[in-house]
């Protein structure tokens, strides 16, 4: 289906962004003394990455950052969401590595010179392997290590970088990384994984204070959120419990200063005096990554967890399969529900990631007409406009991703980029969606959708 040529209306000053993450695009593992992360351990374990690939060379943005900046400049985005590698800056969680910091120093300067505001993420899953060996996010000491890392980055970049994400998708780290082992560090602790929730949120609040002390103007956390749908009327309790685990346990401590009731799950979090005040450190935005709704039904009685995810009836899906349904209106519903649930406690919202993977050739021969991606993005951007029209204070929309990249446990089998990347040569080829997004941004700015 072709998108409507008339773009939706957005408020004056609405911002447009594109995103990447360090481990997924940088390559150059040994270039500057970068240490090992939990993802190095994960990809080197046979059978954990779908195609057996590593992240090398991939887009090789460590050496091709100028190419990325040029793409961003032509795209016309206001800001670029990239992440900083903890293992480049403080290998092993130890002393500062000046060579690693220099890469980000150069990137920030290049973005500013191109008129693109740098909007880095401090943590996008690259925990130093040495810290994981000591318990990782299950260990409260990791919060102190993260504070040291945040301070080092703020000392180096805070004179020029004023906008920050602290932690990306703590739900993915906790539930997929520590609970069921689909992502690094590949542990399977089920509900015993949940102390990692508290420690990540505590690290967010601690880092937010440090960044503000260094002159930051806009700081926030970003979580992967989903609109939870019961498969049947009798699945309401299962859907409620899933909503608590995927959405509320991450949002409510940050926004309200308290956790939802976890008694039904038998969970006791390691909360100390003052922790919730730190987690609720005032921030200028709340980040929402959104890809799809989640349909939940009750699990069989013998299951160790009380719910299971099932395909959403009647919905098309992305290249990830039936559990990644395409339902743009679910984004509107989630945002409106959040505003109704949290009221004035909800600060301005930034959509920190939204995008879709679809099958594409590894080595393109000519133009890539990714019409499915264009339709997906158009629908979700219109869903954001609908949420704004209903009173949700969304200030920014971010496409995931600028580039095809190493897609975690899927390796190079899933492509989300506006720009195709040959994962062997690192050659970049803008897709049709790149031109579409560029033109949409220009049209909205000139008032074509008003």
Element (H, E) at 252: helix 249-255
Q: What is the pLDDT of residues 260-309, one digit of tens each?
A: 999 888 889 999 999 999 999 999 999 999 999 999 999 999 999 999 99
447: pLDDT confidence band, cut at 50, 70 and 90? confident
Whether 224 has a binding-site annotation, put simply, is no
Q: Is the pLDDT of residue 2 over 90?
A: no
Q: For domain 15-445, give the CATH number.
A: 3.20.20.80
Q: Is 26 annotated as a binding residue?
A: no
pLDDT of 36? 97
**Model confidence at 448, in pLDDT bands (50, 70, 90)?**
low
Is 400 labelled a binding residue?
yes
Query: Tens digits of per-residue pLDDT, 159-198?
Result: 999 999 999 999 999 999 999 999 999 999 999 999 999 9
Q: Are strands 419-421 and 428-430 parallel, antiparallel or unpaired?
A: antiparallel
Higher pLDDT, 33 or 448: 33
pLDDT of residue 5: 80
In the chain, where the domains are located: 15-445
For the segment 436-449, the average pLDDT, to the nearest whole number, is 89
- Categorize the per-residue pLDDT at 6 as very low, low, confident or very high, splitting at 50, 70 and 90: confident
Per-residue pLDDT tens over the stretch 363-402: 988 889 999 999 999 999 999 999 999 999 999 999 999 9
| 136 contact partners, CB below 8 Å, separation of at least 6 | 38, 127, 142, 178, 185, 196
Closest listed residue to residue 356, CA positions, set 371, 338, 373, 332: 373
DSSP H or E run through 280: none
Give the pLDDT of residue 47: 96
Side-chain-side CA neighbours of residue 394 (13 Å):
28
Containing 192, the helix (H) or strand (E) segment is none
Is 125 a known ligand-binding residue? no
Find out whether 24 is annotated in a ligand binding site: yes
* pLDDT at residue 267 in the model: 87
- Cα dihedral 22, 116, 285, 245, rounded to 10, equals -30
Q: Where residue 355 falls among pLDDT bands split at 50, 70, 90? A: very high
Q: In what order do the strands lie in the sheet with 218-225?
A: 117-118, 79-81, 15-19, 394-400, 349-353, 286-290, 218-225, 163-168, 121-123
Active-site residue list: 169, 353
DSSP string, 348-391: -EEEEE--------SS--S----HHHHHHHHHHHHHHHHHHHTT
Q: Supply the mean pLDDT for the chain.
A: 96
Residue 100 near residue 89, CB atoms below 8 Å: yes
| 407 in a known ligand binding site | yes
| 56 in a known ligand binding site | no
Of 325, 319, 323, 289, residue with least CA distance to 308? 323
Q: How far, in whole angstroms, is CA 150 from its chain's centroid? A: 18
**pLDDT of 51 strictly over 60:** yes
Query: What mean pLDDT comes out for the span 91-99?
Result: 97
Percent of the chain with pLDDT over 70: 99
pTM of full prediction above 0.85: yes
DSSP SS3 for 220: strand
Residue 450 has pLDDT above 70, yes or no: no
pLDDT band at 1 (very low <50, low <70, confident <90, very high): low
- Quote the pLDDT of residue 271: 98
């Amino acid at each position: 289906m072709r998108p409507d040529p008339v773009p939706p209306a957005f408020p004056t000053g609405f911002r447009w962004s594109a995103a990447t993450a360090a481990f997924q695009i940088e390559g150059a593992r040994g270039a500057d003394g970068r240490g090992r992360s939990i993802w190095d351990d994960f990809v080197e374990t046979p059978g954990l990455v779908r195609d057996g690939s590593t992240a090398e060379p991939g887009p090789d943005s460590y050496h091709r950052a100028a190419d990325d900046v040029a793409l961003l400049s032509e795209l016309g985005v206001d800001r670029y969401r990239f992440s900083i590698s903890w293992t480049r800056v403080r290998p092993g969680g130890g002393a500062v590595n000046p060579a690693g910091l220099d890469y980000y120093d150069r990137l920030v300067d290049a973005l500013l010179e191109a008129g693109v505001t740098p909007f880095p993420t401090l943590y996008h899953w690259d925990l130093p392997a040495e810290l994981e060996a000591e318990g990782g996010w299950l260990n409260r000491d990791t919060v102190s290590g993260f504070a040291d890392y945040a301070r080092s980055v703020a000392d180096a970049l805070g004179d020029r970088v004023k906008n920050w994400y602290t932690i990306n998708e703590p739900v993915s780290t906790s539930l997929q990384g520590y609970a069921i082992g689909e992502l690094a560090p590949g542990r399977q602790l089920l509900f015993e994984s949940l102390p990692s929730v508290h420690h990540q949120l505590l690290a967010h609040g601690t880092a937010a204070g440090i960044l503000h002390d260094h002159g930051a103007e806009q700081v926030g956390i970003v979580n992967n959120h989903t609109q939870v749908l019961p498969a049947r009327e009798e699945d309401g309790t299962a859907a409620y419990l899933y909503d608590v685990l995927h959405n509320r346990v991450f949002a409510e401590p940050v926004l309200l200063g308290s956790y939802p009731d976890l008694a039904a799950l038998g969970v006791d979090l390691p909360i100390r005096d003052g922790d919730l005040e730190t987690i609720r450190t005032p921030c200028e935005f709340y980040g929402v990554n959104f890809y799809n709704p989640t349909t939940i039904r009750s699990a069989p009685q013998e299951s160790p967890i009380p719910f299971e995810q099932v395909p959403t009836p009647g919905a098309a899906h992305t290249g990830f399969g039936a559990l990644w349904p395409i339902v743009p209106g679910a984004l509107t519903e989630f945002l409106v529900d959040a505003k109704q649930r949290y009221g004035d406690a909800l600060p301005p919202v930034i959509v920190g990631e939204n995008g879709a993977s679809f099958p594409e050739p590894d080595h393109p021969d000519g133009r890539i007409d990714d019409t499915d991606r264009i339709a997906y993005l158009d629908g979700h951007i219109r869903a954001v406009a609908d949420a704004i029209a209903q009173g949700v204070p969304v200030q920014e929309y971010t496409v995931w991703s600028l580039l095809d990249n190493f897609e975690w446990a899927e390796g190079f089998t899933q492509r989300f980029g506006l720009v195709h990347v040959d994962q062997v040569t690192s050659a970049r080829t803008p897709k049709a969606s790149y031109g579409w997004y560029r033109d949409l941004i220009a049209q909205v700015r000139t008032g074509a959708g008003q």
